[in-house]
Amino acid sequence: MPGRLLTALRSETHEHHRQLDAALAMSASAITRDRYVAFLRGSLAAVAPLEAAMLAWFPAPGEPTRRECLLADLAALGAVAGAEDDAAPIDATREQALGWSYVLAGSTLGGMVLAREVEAALGPAAPTRYLRLRGEGTAAAWKAFLVGLAEHDEALSEAQVVAVCRAAAAAFARFTAAFTAAGAIR
């Protein structure tokens, strides 16, 4: 049975997630090289500052960062990231970092699905390091994240749970704005 934090996060972000997925509409038939580059640039602009703040609270030693994978995928496509693609890091409270980590950790599940769509559209050699961030370990990493989230749940007040949920919703808004600015959402 999910704890109150996970239940609240799912409830508070469900519509944001649905709207973002619908706006992106990243099916194989809609993916071109340029659209994928726009998606990667939008991802970089949204992910880089969130991930840096999140890792300050919850380090993940030995794992490649999302930012590193995004830069590698862009380089493989011959699309060098500009300064505008890689936003400056931001400071975060623990609650913000938890909310952002929920969105980023959850995105790895969808990334595996999207990687197959990208490869169907652009070919099996399409660079999908970011989308396949945890590879075969994606499901296990998500389960481990949920265990960690449950551990935080016990220590959070109701006001802190609300702050975590607000941060998660704000992360979806950040992704939407970044994808729009990059041209991945029209």
Q: How distant is the alpha carbon of residue 83 from its chain centre?
A: 20
Q: Among 165, 164, 111, which residue's Cα sits nearest to residue 138?
A: 111
* Calpha distance 2→20 (Å, rounded): 24
In this structure, what token pair is assigned to residue 165? 């949920």
- Domain locations along the chain: 9-182
Q: What is the pLDDT along the chain (186 residues), one digit of tens a residue?
A: 678 999 999 999 999 999 999 999 999 999 999 999 999 999 999 999 999 888 888 887 778 899 999 999 999 999 976 655 566 668 889 999 999 999 999 999 999 999 999 999 999 999 999 999 998 999 999 999 999 999 988 899 999 999 999 999 999 999 999 999 999 997
Tell me if 87 sits within 8 A of 158, measured CB to CB.
Answer: no
For 133, the 3-state DSSP assignment is coil
Write the single-letter amino acid at 156.
L
* Calpha distance 34→39 (Å, rounded): 9
Looking at domain 9-182, which of 3.40.50.2300, 3.40.50.720, 1.10.357.10, 1.20.910.10 is its CATH number?
A: 1.20.910.10
pTM summary value: 0.93
In this structure, what token pair is assigned to residue 80? 């060098």
Place of tokens 């890792």: 55
DSSP structure string for 56-95: HHS--TTSPPHHHHHHHHHHHTT-PPPGGGSPPP----HH
Q: Which are the contacts of 89, defined by CB distance < 8 A and separation ≥ 6?
A: 48, 49, 52, 53
